[in-house]
Amino acid sequence: MKRTTLLLISILLAVTSCNNATKNSNSSTENTDSVAIHTTQQSKIAPQRQGWNRNLPALYGDIAEVVLTQYHTNAAGKPINGSLERKEKYLFNQRGDVIEKREYDNYNTLWNKCLYKYGANAKIVEQVWYKRDNSLDWRAVYRYDDKENTVEEVYFNNDGTKKSIALHKLTPQGSKIEEAHYDGEGNLQWVAFYKHNSRGLLVEDAGYFSNGVIDYKFINRYDAEDRIIETTEYDAEELPQRKIRYKYNSKGQLSEEDIYNSEEKLETTWFYTYDEQGNVVKVAPQKNARKQYDITTEYKIVYRR
C-alpha cells in the first residue's frame, strides 16, 4: 500500500507542475531537465529550473531555498509526532537552478545529498550523489541534441562501472515519446511511452517492464483552456483503478483534487494552499480521510528578495 500511496501523491503533486506545461517538454528520468510551466488564468510563467523535481509544483520568484516535508496526520488533520515520511532540501543558484539537494531519513537525519554541475551553456551535465558519510554513492551524466533536449543519461556506480542507461526518443518538435532504460550491459529493463494531443499536451503515459507487463498507465483529459481536469490510473490488466478530478480557483490555480476509486466512489479530497508569490506551500487531505491518504506535504520557501 505504501508504494501505491506515494505514487498517487507523486501524481497529485505533478499536476501543479505539468498542468498547462510547455508543450514539447523533455524532462529526464531523474527530473533534472528544465520545464517551462504556465497556468492559463494566471498569465504567469514559472522560471525554468533544472534539478527541480518535475513531480513537484512549479516555483515562482527569486528562490534561494525550498524545504519539502511530508508527515502523517490524524483524523482531525493534525500532525502525528514522529511521523515524518519525507524531507528534502533544495538550494538554488542565481539563475534559479538547483545546485544541491539533501534528503533526510524518518528521524530527520541527513541520508544523502546530490550536487548538480552545469556546463558552459548552463545546461546540467552531471549530478553526483553522496552518502551520509560524504563518500561517493553514484553519479549521472547527460547528453543533449542540437536543440538542447536530453537524449541520453548514463549512470555510474561509485567504482566507475556503468550502472544503467536511459535513452529518450523525441518528435521533431521536441516532445518526448519514448524513454527506455537499460542495465549496465545494455539489456532492456523498462520502457515508457508518451502520447500527446494535437496541442502537444500529454494525454497518455504508460510504463512497461522488459517482458511487456505493464507497470503503470495514466490517461489525462483537458478543458478548453488546456487545464488538466481528469487523470485515470489503470492497473496491470489495464482496467480503470482510480480517477483524479481537478478543480481550480478564480486565479486559475489548482485548488482541489477529488480521488475516486474504481467504483466511482469519492475516497477523499486534497486541498492546495498558496503564498502571495503563487507558490504551493501546503497540500493536505480532507479531514477524516481514509488512512492511506493521511499524508500532508508542506513547502517552506526562502526568497532572496
Q: Who's near 122: CB < 8 A, 6+ residues apart?
A: 95, 97
Instruction: State the Cα torsion 61-65-70-71 to the nearest 10°.
Output: -120
Q: How far is CA 246 from CA 31, 157, 201, 291, in A?
A: 23, 41, 16, 21
pLDDT digit of tens for each residue in the chain (305 aa)?
444 444 454 555 455 454 534 333 444 434 433 332 223 333 356 678 999 988 899 999 999 999 999 999 877 777 888 889 999 999 999 999 999 999 999 999 999 999 999 998 999 999 999 999 999 999 999 999 999 999 999 999 999 999 999 999 999 988 999 999 999 999 999 999 999 999 999 999 999 999 999 999 999 999 999 999 999 999 988 899 999 999 999 999 999 999 999 999 998 899 999 999 999 999 998 865 555 557 899 999 999 97
Q: Measure CA 61 to chain center.
A: 19
Hey, what domains does the chain have and what are their CATH numbers?
2-303 (2.40.160)
What pTM does this model have? Answer: 0.84
Contact 112, 103 (CB under 8 A): yes
